[in-house]
Chain A
Amino acid sequence: MVTTTAIVISLLEPSIDFFGQVSLKEFLFGTAWAPTFTPPEFGVLPIVLATMVTSFWGLLVAIPLGLGAAIYLSEYASPRARKTIKPTLEVLAGVPTVAIGFFALFFMRPVLEDLLPFLPWSGPQAAGVAGLAVGLMIVPIIASLSEDAMSAVPTGLREAAYGLGATKMRVATRVVLPAALSGIVASIVLATSRAVGETMIVLLAAGASPNLTVGFTESVQTMTAFIGQTATGDIATGTVTYYTIFAVGLLLFLMTLILNMISIRLVRRFHEAYD
């Protein structure tokens, strides 16, 4: 409880100082982000867009892979296969993100360039590659939580569907999937919140140039990468740049807070339905 209050205060107070010097309108609707330049620009749109782009690529990979793995584990896998694969996924969910960032920068990036040579590759960093790596990070979250939701669907529902002559695939897609939907959506929302808040992967693999772009191969700076990048440099307390960290942090906190609340609400609803 104290922590939340402290987070809110620690974010709010410097943010108020920040908005004393930069107008809210300039912050939210400006299209250029260059807080350390002279003259500084404080339009947050480029880094918000960058966060959305990397999260989008991440979800694009992670939703089908995670759901596929979850359906397999819950409906098709033998108890023995499930007993080994699910813990493996859970162990892999603990891979530190700095390792995933390294993998994205030095393995995925060159491999993808060989596979897709027609894309306009430039510098070592690319928004799309970072996004795919973020996807790799959140696959275990979606797979594990969705599998929990699907396993919680009562066997009676499945048996009833088989009794009506449904095929296995139809039972999985038309009965189990809809019945577990709120749990599945909750897992995806939680994974989105993780993707938005992920720092190390995007810091290493997406770069540090705040471009307003949606390109796959372009280097971008996300909100988290900006905070990480700026904080590692030496910045004096009390400067506008110092306060910028908090303003961006506040926006990030609000975005993930909304996502987390949706996820918690959905999980609660799904608990009520079948317990």
Chain B
Amino acid sequence: MAALGPQAERTRLAAAGARSVTRAAILSGQPLKDVIKGRIFYALLLLALGLALLGLAALILDAVIDGRSMLSLDLLTNSASRISPETAGYANAIYGTILLIGGVLVMTVPIGIGSAIYLEEYADRTKWWNRVVELNIQNLAAVPSIVYGILGLAFIVRGPLDLGFILFAGSITLSLLVLPTVIIAAREAIRAVPPSIREGSFALGATRWQTVRRQVLPAAIPGIATGVILAVSRAAGETAPLLLVGAATFVTFDPTVFGDNGYTALPVMIFNNAKQAQPEFHVLAAAGIVVMLAVILLMNSFAIWLRNRYEQRW
């Protein structure tokens, strides 16, 4: 052993050296250039995400700061006014939005869920017309909202239905706008119910309808609810189509569903105030935005929370 001493020493040294060099090459041995490039890339990614979030946060903060002098309960209970923006509020507009959304819910929930059940549970996907319907719905979901406004103007306000500029016409227009979203979301929810649940139900002698009614629908409810809430929050924030179907008029009273003396909605009123020349109206608009954002972001958060909570149940 003693004779081998220096040699062993050298061997150990060589082994350690070889080991550390190899390790260094594998673990941290990326050329310095690559390490720096990687760091810069990472910083740029963080910057991109930061800027995106910062821009949207600035939007909310700006509305709160601009509108803070008007933020009080009076804002929700006072009527609109052209003359004194200091005492004006959004009571009529909020009431109008609630009526509009009520109409949207009544129309889209049954039609949306019905279509989704048909497409998922009953439709034969090898038939070409069902594929056309599918493509069609996907495409409708991405048609600009103002085109729905034109449709509403030509078909609902005038043309075949000839309802005139009433709140109900606005409700139908918004329903058409969000219906594809509701159908797509409801279909996803129904599709996520595993086939084994259906097969189990069939094996116990249930009919197709009983299976859908008692097994598939209850299991898909959270998913469908998510879609409906997101659709409603979209309808609540839409302005453009309403401009075309009559919500542009200045209204200082609570609108009714079929009344033909004009109606308005919260986002339309905000738009009208933002367009006025006097800065007091801009404060009013900012305060309205805070109210609208609070409601809509809360609805969206609830919907997304619901989705994430039920995401992996099976």
Interface set of A (CB-CB < 8 Å, partner B) = 1, 3-4, 6-7, 10-11, 13-14, 64-69, 71-73, 76, 83, 85, 87-92, 94-103, 105-107, 136, 139-140, 143, 167-170, 172-173, 190, 193-194, 196-200, 203-204, 224, 227-228, 231-232, 237, 245-246, 249, 252-253, 256-257, 259-261, 263-264
Contacts and interface: CB of A to CB of B under 8 A. Distances in A.
Dominant secondary structure of chain B at its interface with chain A = helix
Contact of B144 (A143, A170, A203, A252): A252
24 contacts: A4-B136, A4-B139, A4-B140, A7-B143, A7-B150, A7-B151, A13-B154, A65-B52, A68-B44, A68-B48, A69-B48, A72-B46, A87-B308, A95-B56, A95-B293, A96-B239, A103-B59, A197-B145, A199-B145, A224-B144, A224-B146, A245-B153, A253-B147, A260-B138
A97 B234 CA distance: 10
B52 A102 contact: no
A48 B174 CA distance: 26
Nearest to A99: B289
Contacts of A100: 59
A140 B300 CA distance: 14
A136 B146 contact: no
A3 B48 contact: no
Interface stretch (B10-18, B35-43, B100-108, B210-218): B35-43
Contacts of A264: 135, 138-139
B55 interface: yes
Contact of A198 (B144, B158, B292): B144
Interface centre among B34, B47, B56, B238 (most CB of A within 10 A): B56
* A-B pairs with lowest CB-CB distance, top 4: A197-B144, A68-B48, A96-B237, A10-B154
Interface of B: 30, 34-35, 37-38, 41-42, 44-49, 51-53, 55-56, 58-59, 62-63, 66, 132-133, 135-136, 138-140, 142-151, 153-155, 158-159, 176, 179, 230, 233-234, 236-240, 243-244, 248, 267, 270-271, 274-275, 282, 285-286, 289, 292-293, 296-297, 300-301, 304-305, 308
B267 A96 contact: yes
A169 B41 contact: yes
Nearest to A253: B147
B42 A76 contact: yes
B304 A136 contact: no
A232 B243 contact: yes
A196 B236 CA distance: 21
A260 B292 contact: no
A227 B140 CA distance: 19
A143 B62 contact: no
A88 B53 contact: yes
A238 B133 CA distance: 33
B46 A10 contact: no
B136 A252 contact: no
Contact of B142 (A11, A91, A231, A263): A263
Interface centre among B30, B179, B271 (most CB of A within 10 A): B271
A136 B55 contact: yes
A237 B162 CA distance: 13
Contact of B240 (A4, A92, A200): A200
A76 B43 CA distance: 11
A139 B30 CA distance: 34
B293 A68 contact: no
B248 A232 contact: yes
B49 A85 contact: yes
A224 B143 CA distance: 12
